[in-house]
Amino acid sequence: MMREAPDDPRVGILGLGLMGLGIAQAAAAEGLRVTLVGRDAASADKGLSRLTMQLRRQVERGRMSADAATTLLGNVEAAHDDSALGECDVVIESVDEDREVKIHALRRIEAAASEGALIATNTSGLPIGGLARAFVRPERFLGLHFFSPVERMRLVEVVHGVATSAEAVRIALAFVARLGKRPIVVRDRPGFFTSRVFAAYLDEALAMLGEGTPASLIEEAAIANGRALGPLAVLDEVGLRLNVQQGLQARADGLEERFCRPLALPVLSRMLERGRGGRRDGGGFYDYPDAGAKSLWSGLAEAFPPALAPDRAALALRLACVEAREALRCLEEGVIASADDADAASLLGLGYPAKTGGVLAWVESFGLPAFVEACDQLARNHGSRFAPSPFLRDLADRGEIPRLYKPTAP
């Protein structure tokens, strides 16, 4: 039986990288007591030191006051062993995005945590059901997908697996709200909601590049839609190799081909063959000089010879439609429960232009019949990923997207 979490739950964090320390900061900033756990006492102490330096930099940049940083650090302690997790009401694992590494960490947590504690994994896409095999009592386990930088990003996906209890979801929602963040409940499906929708957007840009569309036009089309960065620039920041690994892992897991990044892998693999892995690898789609602004890599024209010069407005519509089409597919499949959740997730987690009101609000503004017509044309020109389903055609006939949708599919 899970215990009712107090109004000010004590939080344990196992895994003290960028995300783990970000979660620790977010919790401590709200006055919660936080316990940091590493591989051993020394790594926990190093984690606390890194958090201290992280806060010092934020003070230097004017993002918080020195007094606030001091108060925040007073809420955080480094644990010398796993037994400290027994005092925590909520324990969050945030180690590397590797299934076996996470399973090992989760087994450590279940062995040390009290029977009534909520246990969560911070993952952007690993199936909760697969990680749940680490547990004797999987009903108290779920996913809490935080976004980076955690201290500034308000969205958290609360991902429930088949074995997750309703009580665990309720406690998780209260915890996320206590952090001052916006939770959305997400069904345990590949990519959850945000990673899946954003992958559709990024992969469409890569498909355009592979077709011979100049990279500059792709980036300009995305910015014309209101994005702060073009999709190729985003891929450079995330890392091309990570995106390839995600696709290959999905294929190894036997997922449907649509979840295996089939549009992205050929283009990303060609970039990696040329030693272009992204910003941290010295350059990807862009070059990053020591002085001056980044610029598109001059080798792109040789790697992907320009063959098309489509209208920028047509590219912008294609990018907008593929993202919205995937969001609607998630609504239809019950990955999310409402159009409001889809809009909130797109605005708070995906950098969707605020003026639109969100990804599905954009569809409503564009007009459902016009959206279906655009998707039909895109499906004829670019593939079945755009094809409207009977569900979508029914929405168009009714002229609205229900704010709350209960799918009939299992």
- Find the CATH number of the domain harbouring 334: 1.10.1040.50
Distance CA 56, CA 360 (A): 40
367 with 326, same domain: the answer is yes
Of 72, 2, 60, 70, give the one whose Cα is nearest residue 30.
72
Residues 375 and 265 in one domain: no
Task: Look at residue 409 in the predicted model and tell me its pLDDT.
Answer: 36
- Say if residue 116 is in the same domain as residue 27: yes
Q: What pLDDT digit, counting tens, does each position of 85-115 carry?
A: 999 999 999 999 888 999 999 999 999 999 9
* Residue 408 counted as domain residue: no
CB 113 within 8 A of CB 91: yes
Q: What is the pLDDT of residue 410?
A: 31
Model pLDDT, residue 405 = 45
Last residue of a domain, one of 303, 335, 362: 303
pLDDT tens-digit readout, 150-181: 999 999 999 999 999 999 999 999 999 999 99
pLDDT, residue 404, reads 55
Domain, as residue range, for 338:
317-398
132 within some domain: yes
Tally the domains of the chain. Answer: 3
Residues 59 and 146 placed together within one structural domain of the fold: yes
Q: Are residues 364 and 245 in the same domain?
A: no
Domain match, 173 and 221 both? no
Amino acid (one-letter) located at 325: R
* Residues in the chain with pLDDT values less than 70: 1-5, 403-410
At 12, is the secondary structure helix, strand, or coil? Answer: strand
Q: What is the pLDDT of residue 27?
A: 98
- Looking at residue 124, its pLDDT comes to 87
Cβ proximity of 31 and 72 under 8 Å:
no
- In this structure, the answer to whether residues 156 and 284 fall within a common structural domain is no
202 and 70 both lie in a single domain: no
Q: Of the candidates 260, 277, 303, which is a domain's last residue?
A: 303
**Residue 17: inside a domain:** yes
In a domain, 310, yes or no: no
How many residues appear in the chain?
410
SS3 category, 229: coil
CB 15 within 8 A of CB 105: yes
In a domain, 138, yes or no: yes
One domain, residues 218 and 169: no
**Whether the Cβ atoms of residue 131 and residue 99 lie closer than 8 Å to each other:** yes
- Do 61 and 181 have their domain in common? yes
Residue 43 lies in a domain: yes
